[in-house]
Chain A
Amino acid sequence: GAGVSQSPSNKVTEKGKDVELRCDPISGHTALYWYRQSLGQGLEFLIYFQGNSAPDKSGLPSDRFSAERTGGSVSTLTIQRTQQEDSAVYLCASSLGRGWEETQYFGPGTRLLVL
């Protein structure tokens, strides 16, 4: 079946503008994760959704970052008042949701460039 998809694939914005990044997880996956990957760096955990539970927001770097997941499926990551240091690839992943001990399937990412 279809894998995790993300849109847009690339986004160029001006400093101070808001951006929305979208993630469509694999159908039936109840767990969804957002990560940030700066150039040549590792995977920085941002937020985790599991079913109807309250999300784990412990990785969000500032209050300019927020995410929601409507209907337990599609998720949107919003960055308000973007800064140049927000430039990175934003990766979404999903898993079946039975626990953390399971394979995460990553989307292709959204490459964000803040000018």
Chain B
Amino acid sequence: GENVEQHPSTLSVQEGDSAVIKCTYSDSASNYFPWYKQELGKRPQLIIDIRSNVGEKKDQRIAVTLNKTAKHFSLHITETQPEDSAVYFCAHGGYQKVTFGTGTKLQVIP
């Protein structure tokens, strides 16, 4: 199947701490792994993505790691700020439909 499990469903961190969200998938054909951020009342927007030919990608305070053998990928946010508070969705796909995770509500406490 094309299921993707995302954990945790909610996450609270102190401002400045790191946050990690993990997703596992079952479809071995998946080779594209995007992450979307959805602020309250707004539309989801892509923040970072990774393809299966690399194991890690970083963009400022955000990084994504991929372990294709174990079929899991993670989002890492360092030095969290209040504006990082949002719902984060992982997704995976290839030449099939993209499947989204159930989301993680991140709250950064000032």
Q: How large is the interface on B (under 10, 10 to 19, 20 to 34, 35 or more residues)?
A: 20 to 34
A99 to B34: give the CA distance in the assembly, Å: 14
Contact between A45 and B100, CB atoms less than 8 A apart: yes
| Chain B contacts to A: CB under 8 angstroms | 31-32, 34, 42-46, 49, 51, 89, 93-103
Q: CB-CB < 8 A to A99: which residues of B?
A: 95
A100 to B93: give the CA distance in the assembly, Å: 6
Contact with B along A64-79 (1 / 0, CB 8 A): 0000000000000000
| Chain A contacts to B: CB under 8 angstroms | 35, 41-43, 45, 48, 56, 58-59, 91, 99-101, 103-104, 106-109
Contact between A101 and B97, CB atoms less than 8 A apart: no
Q: Which of A42, A104, A107 contacts B98 (CB 8 A)?
A: A104
Q: CB-CB < 8 A to B51: which residues of A?
A: 101
Interface secondary structure of B, over-half rule: loop
Q: Which of A58, A106, A107, A109 contacts B97 (CB 8 A)?
A: A58
A106 to B87: give the CA distance in the assembly, Å: 15
Q: Which of B32, B45, B46 contacts A100 (CB 8 A)?
A: B32
Contact between B102 and A42, CB atoms less than 8 A apart: yes
A103 to B44: give the CA distance in the assembly, Å: 11
Contact between B95 and A45, CB atoms less than 8 A apart: no
A82 to B31: give the CA distance in the assembly, Å: 37
Contact between A107 and B43, CB atoms less than 8 A apart: yes
Q: What is the CB-to-nearest-CB distance from B35 to chain A, in angstroms, rounded to a whole number? A: 11
Closest chain B residue, CB of each to CB of A99: B95
Contact between B97 and A100, CB atoms less than 8 A apart: yes
Closest chain A residue, CB of each to CB of B51: A101
Q: CB-CB < 8 A to A42: which residues of B?
A: 89, 100-103
Contact between B44 and A100, CB atoms less than 8 A apart: no
Q: What is the CB-to-nearest-CB distance from A30 to chain B, in angstroms, rounded to a whole number? A: 15
